[in-house]
C-alpha cells in the first residue's frame, strides 16, 4: 500500500505541473523522481518520422496500455482502428482528398505528418463522458509509446476530413453509432524538439 500511495502521489504531481523547457531545473528534478514522471515530462509531439511503421508487437503493448485507461463505469466507450500498411494509408488519403474538394490536396495528404502508423479512436456519443474516456485512452497510447521509443502526435484535421468521407469511414470499419474523434500518428522519431513553455498560473489550489 505504501508503494501504491507513493506512485499515486507521483502521478498527481505530474498532472498538476506542466512541461517547461528542457534546461529548466524544476523539470530536470522531476524527471529524476520515477520512470512515469520522466516519461510524462520528456514526451514531445513528433512531426518527422522514419518511414517504417511501428512493429506490430510494440503496437500490441501500446494498445493494451490504451484500453487499460480509466473510463466511466467501465463502459469502455471507445473503438480503436490501426492503419499501418502503406497501401492502406495511401487509400485513406485518396478517399479523404476525394471527399474534400474544397481543401488543397497537399493539405489533406499531409495532415498525418507522414506518420507511418495511424491510430483512430471513435467514441460512443450516446454516453456523455465517452469523449473523455477516449482522451484518457489516447494519452495512455502516447505515453506508453514514448516509453518504448515511439513518437506520437495527436491530430485533429484528419478527423474533419474523414467525417466527410463515407468511403473512408467504411474503410476504418467502426461500429454503427461510433464517431471518429481522435487521430494519433505514431512512428520512430526523426527529430528531438524542445518543450514549449507551459503556463503554471493556470493551476491553483483552492483554500
Residue 72 and residue 145 share a domain: yes
Residue 97 and residue 34 share a domain: no
Phi, psi torsion values for 70, nearest 5 degrees: -65, 145
Residue 142, all three cell numbers? 502516447
Residue 108 and residue 13 share a domain: no
Cell 504531481 belongs to which residue? 13
Residue 86 and residue 180 share a domain: yes
This prediction has a pTM of 0.83
Angle at 172 between CA 163 and CA 81, to 5 degrees: 110
Instruction: List the one residue out of 22, 153, 167 whose CA is nearest residue 95.
Output: 167
> 34 in helix, strand or coil?
coil
Establish if 195 belongs to a structural domain.
no
Residue 106 and residue 7 share a domain: no
Instruction: List the one residue out of 145, 147, 121, 124 whose CA is nearest residue 135.
Output: 121
Domain that holds residue 77: 56-187
Total structural domains within the chain: 2
Residue 156 and residue 88 share a domain: yes
Residue 156 and residue 94 share a domain: yes
181 has pLDDT over 60 = yes
CB of 62 within 8 A of CB of 148?
A: yes
In this prediction, residues 57-72 reach a mean pLDDT of 98
Angle at 79 between CA 156 and CA 103, to 5 degrees: 25
Q: For residue 1, what pLDDT is reported? A: 42
Cell 468521407 belongs to which residue? 165
Residue 72 and residue 12 share a domain: no
Range scoring the smallest mean pLDDT among 3-7, 63-67, 137-141: 3-7
Establish if 114 belongs to a structural domain.
yes
Residue 127 and residue 65 share a domain: yes
Residue 143, all three cell numbers? 505515453
Amino acid at each position: 500500500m505504501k508503494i501504491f500511495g507513493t506512485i499515486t502521489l507521483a502521478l498527481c504531481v505530474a498532472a498538476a505541473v506542466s512541461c517547461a523547457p528542457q534546461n529548466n531545473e524544476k523539470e530536470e528534478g522531476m524527471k529524476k523522481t520515477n520512470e512515469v514522471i520522466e516519461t510524462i515530462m520528456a514526451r514531445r509531439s513528433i512531426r518527422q518520422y522514419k518511414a517504417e511503421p511501428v512493429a506490430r508487437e510494440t503496437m500490441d503493448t501500446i494498445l493494451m496500455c490504451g484500453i487499460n485507461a480509466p473510463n466511466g463505469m467501465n463502459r469502455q466507450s471507445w473503438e480503436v482502428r490501426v492503419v499501418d500498411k502503406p497501401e492502406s494509408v495511401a487509400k485513406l488519403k485518396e478517399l479523404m482528398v476525394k471527399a474534400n474538394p474544397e481543401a488543397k490536396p497537399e493539405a489533406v495528404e499531409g495532415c498525418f505528418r507522414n506518420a507511418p502508423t495511424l491510430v483512430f479512436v471513435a467514441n460512443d456519443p450516446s454516453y456523455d463522458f465517452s469523449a473523455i474516456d477516449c482522451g484518457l485512452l489516447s494519452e495512455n497510447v502516447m505515453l506508453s509509446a514514448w516509453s518504448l521509443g515511439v513518437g506520437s502526435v495527436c491530430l485533429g484535421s484528419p478527423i474533419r476530413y474523414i467525417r466527410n468521407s463515407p468511403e473512408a469511414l467504411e474503410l476504418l470499419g467502426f461500429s454503427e453509432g461510433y464517431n471518429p474523434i481522435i487521430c494519433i500518428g505514431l512512428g520512430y522519431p526523426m527529430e528531438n524538439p524542445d518543450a514549449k513553455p507551459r503556463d503554471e498560473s493556470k493551476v491553483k489550489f483552492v483554500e
